């Protein structure tokens, strides 16, 4: 005996919830007899979480142009080192902090470049310019110490531009057979994003992994689905939808489901 449940955040009142953490209620409840297990058949969600944001406390950008300090707030978003460098130059454009080269190109006294060989950020500072990384946690993404950087060179640490997000965990409130290290967990599925930021992530597991649900349940009245990263932090989809298709099947041959 088996059945499918499709959970879709677009069909849920998200006033007090969010697309990355929402609950679907069933009225009437789905009645269960015996023991059941479930597997993720398919999932769709957007690569819409941010590596730089006010929520992450890493969106302050401050530099010194040799005379005065310039402060700006980086708009919440998902940035590469190159995109962050481009934004910095836009800010410097607005303040007029650049010179014109012999061929008419703009020259900036702060340059951030990803050194792919060392996996570090290379920072170039000229003409008494400095970069202040002591105001919030932006330094952690760039691989520097919390300090005012005054000299050019590679960051002392490997860049962490993904903000420690290596894997995404799909959690389900019915799951009882998972562990995270030595702790019990309600993790249903874990994946590494294979698409680029701003795109739809289509998850279609080749091998379906069935995990027991709470054996004390005789009915399903609600299901909570939520996303965490590998460090246990909520993965904020910023309102973009998340859908999960679940397959339930009876563990014992004589069990059945009734509605």
* pLDDT class of 134 with cuts at 50, 70, 90: very high
pLDDT of 125 strictly over 70: yes
- Average pLDDT on 127-138 reads 97
Residue 254 confidence (pLDDT)? 52
pLDDT of 14 strictly over 60: yes
* pLDDT class of 179 with cuts at 50, 70, 90: confident
* pLDDT class of 15 with cuts at 50, 70, 90: low
Q: Which two tokens stand for residue 81?
A: 């080192």
- What is the share, in percent, of the chain residues with pLDDT greater than 90? 82
Q: Where do the H-state alpha helices sit in the chain?
A: 81-95, 138-142
Query: Of 59-63, 151-155, 206-210, which range is least confident?
Result: 206-210
Looking up tokens 């030595």, which residue turns up? 182
| Top CATH class, 2-49+165-258 | mainly beta
Angle CA 125–130–134, to nearest 5: 130
pLDDT of 114 strictly over 90: yes
Name which of 146, 145, 152, 113 is nearest 129 in CA terms.
152
* pLDDT class of 216 with cuts at 50, 70, 90: confident
Q: What is the CA radius of gyration of the chain?
A: 24
The 3-state DSSP composition of the chain as helix, strand, coil percent (nearest 5) reads 10, 45, 45
pLDDT of 42 strictly over 70: yes
| Delimiting residues of CATH 2.60.120.1100 domain(s) in the chain | 2-49+165-258
Query: Of 6-20, 106-120, 143-157, which range is least confident?
Result: 6-20
What does the mean pLDDT of the chain come to? 92
Tell me the whole-structure pTM to 2 decimals. Answer: 0.87
């Amino acid at each position: 005996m088996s059945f499918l449940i499709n959970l879709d955040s677009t069909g849920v009142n998200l006033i007090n919830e969010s697309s990355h953490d929402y609950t679907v209620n069933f009225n009437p409840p789905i009645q269960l007899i015996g023991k059941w297990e479930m597997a993720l058949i398919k999932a769709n969600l957007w690569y819409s979480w941010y590596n730089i944001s006010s929520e992450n406390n890493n969106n302050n950008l401050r530099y010194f142009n040799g005379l005065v300090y310039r402060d700006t707030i980086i708009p919440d978003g998902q940035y590469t080192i190159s995109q962050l460098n481009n934004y910095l130059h836009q800010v410097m454009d607005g303040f007029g902090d650049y010179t014109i080269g012999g061929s008419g190109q703009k020259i900036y006294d702060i340059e951030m470049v990803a050194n792919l060989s060392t996996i570090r950020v290379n920072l170039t500072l000229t003409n008494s310019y400095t970069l202040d990384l002591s105001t919030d946690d932006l330094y952690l993404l760039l691989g520097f110490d919390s300090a005012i950087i005054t000299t050019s060179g590679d960051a002392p640490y490997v860049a962490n531009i993904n903000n420690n997000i290596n894997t995404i965990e799909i959690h389900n409130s019915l799951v009882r057979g998972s562990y995270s290290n030595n702790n019990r967990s309600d993790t249903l599925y874990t994946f590494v994003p294979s698409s680029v930021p701003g795109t739809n992530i289509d998850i279609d597991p080749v091998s379906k992994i069935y995990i027991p649900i709470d054996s004390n349940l005789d009915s399903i009245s609600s299901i909570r689905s939520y996303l965490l990263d590998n460090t246990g932090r909520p993965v904020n989809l910023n309102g973009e939808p998340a859908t999960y298709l679940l397959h339930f099947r009876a563990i014992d041959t004589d069990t059945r489901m009734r509605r």
